[in-house]
Amino acid sequence: MTEERFDAIVVGAGPSGNAAAYTMAKNGLNVLQLERGEYPGSKNVQGAILYADALERLMPDFREDAPLERHVIEQRIWMMDDVSDTGMHYRSELFNEAMPNRYTIIRAQFDRWFSRRVRDAGATLPCETTVTDLLRDQRNRVIGVKTDRHGGALLADVVILAEGVNGLTGQQAGLREQPRPKDVALAVKEMHFLPQELIESRFGLRGDEGVVIEAMGTITQGMNRHGVSLRFFIPIANRSRSASVAWWTISPARNRRRTGCWTRSRRTRAWRRCSPDRRSRNTPRT
Ligand SMILES: Cc1cc2nc3c(=O)[nH]c(=O)nc-3n(C[C@H](O)[C@H](O)[C@H](O)COP(=O)(O)OP(=O)(O)OC[C@H]3O[C@@H](n4cnc5c(N)ncnc54)[C@H](O)[C@@H]3O)c2cc1C
């Protein structure tokens, strides 16, 4: 393949890569964006809450067609151990404003929408293309990238690495360090689809209002228009790196949320259901 030259190459089509590619393409630069996933958002598991102010600065009209689920009017915080919990909440009608600041989103849909806007602005985006290395000239300046797909070099005046937290190209090029186990967590996400009316009656909501619940100790929980997202973060430094072990670790917490209270024996470390009298006392309120 012959060499192709661009003003800028952006690696990754998550929010950072999309913001960079959009800004440059909108200002008339010839931008190539490369995404390893099947489509933008296919590799992402974010919860997710969109804090709108940054996007609003970039794209003031984003609310017109972005796939927003609910605007958040209430935040609950729970502190939980295996058998008990305490918490607080903040809810305000003021969050029912014309241009709310926080929304629940589904990243697979949101990233696809954002990426469409980037392409409308003029950038080119081939998916299923992984950047494997940076290209450098004789003076060691970055002049482009190598991919797993293109035989030839992709050259650019600027290369922006927006690969996310586990940026292997950046690490390989010596531009960033490998994340330390104490700084990262393993996250597992689960979505439960429920009738819209059930979500609204259970959480005291109308229309597009939403509630976010953050729980420290066991699980975290978020809400979309037709579903409730559960996200579990397990600090890697404290736990096994194995996903199956992580799943085993969180399963009792999931069951506890669904069916009531579970408790763990200090001696055998085995989980068992609480007795009925403890169950009613220990089940967190929703
Ligand atoms: C479970 C979970 C819940 C979260 N909840 C929230 C939340 O509620 N609100 C919030 O604001 N943030 C949340 N975050 C954080 C948020 O997801 C990140 O801050 C955000 O995704 C970072 O965006 P990014 O564009 O830098 O990276 P990413 O979103 O990780 O995007 C990087 C992209 O680059 C691509 N890529 C990587 N390497 C290559 C390569 N070599 N070649 C080609 N493509 C490549 C990837 O496929 C990916 O699409 C959450 C994160 C997790 C894990």
Q: CATH number of the domain at 116, please.
A: 3.50.50.60
231 CA → ligand 1 middle, Å: 15
Contact 145, 3 (CB under 8 A): no
Nearest to 186 by CA among 266, 259, 242: 242
Q: Which of 111-125, 219-233, 269-283 has the highest mean pLDDT?
A: 111-125
Query: At which residue do the structure tokens 């958040």 appear?
Result: 72
CA-to-CA distance for 191 and 206, rounded, in angstroms? 21
Mean pLDDT computed over 124-140: 95
Q: Are residues 206 and 163 in the same domain?
A: no
Ligand 1 mean position to 164 CA, how many Å? 5
**Is 255 found in the same domain as 116?**
no
Is 44:107 a contact under the CB 8 Å cutoff?
yes
Domain, as residue range, for 41: 4-48+108-172
Let me know whether 257 and 165 are in one domain: no
137 and 231 belong to one structural domain: no
The residue whose CB lies within 8 Å of the most ligand 1 atoms, and thus the one to mutate among 163, 214, 229, 232, is: 163
User: Does 157 lie in the same domain as 31?
Assistant: yes
- Residue 243 pLDDT level (bands cut at 50, 70, 90): very low
Residue recorded with tokens 């799943």 = 247
Tell me what the mean pLDDT of segment 229-258 comes to: 45
Residues 249-277 pLDDT 10s: 444 444 444 444 445 565 665 555 555 44
> Which are the contacts of 91, defined by CB distance < 8 A and separation ≥ 6?
73, 74, 75, 211
Domain match, 257 and 119 both: no
* Cα–Cα separations (whole angstroms), residue 36 to 117, 130, 132, 144, 264: 19, 4, 10, 17, 42
Answer whether residue 245 shows pLDDT above 70.
Answer: no
The residue whose CA has the least distance to atom 9 of ligand 1 is 49
Task: Tell me the pTM.
Answer: 0.80
Of the two residues 11 and 222, the one the predictor is more confident about is: 11
Q: Is residue 121 included in any domain, yes or no?
A: yes
- The residues facing 232 across adjacent strands are 188
Determine the distance separating the centroid of ligand 1 and the alpha carbon of 36, expressed in angstroms.
13
125 within 8 A of 115, measured Cβ to Cβ = yes
Q: Which residues are near ligand 1 (CB < 6 Å)?
A: 11-17, 34-37, 43-49, 51, 130-131, 162-164, 169, 187, 189, 231
Between the CA of 45 and the centroid of ligand 1 the distance, in Å, is 8
Tokens of 243: 């996903």
CA of 168 relative to ligand 1 center, distance in Å: 13
Distance CA 216, CA 85 (A): 9
- Is residue 58's pLDDT more than 70? yes
Residue 81 DSSP code: -
Residue where the block lists tokens 């490369």:
34
For the ranges 27-31, 117-121, 202-206, which has the lowest average pLDDT? 202-206
- Residue having the nearest C-alpha atom to atom 39 of ligand 1: 163
pLDDT at residue 85 is higher than 50: yes
The SS3 of residue 30 is coil
* Ligand 1 probe mutation, 38, 46, 135, most atoms within 8 A of CB: 46
In the chain, pLDDT over 70 holds for what percent of residues? Answer: 73
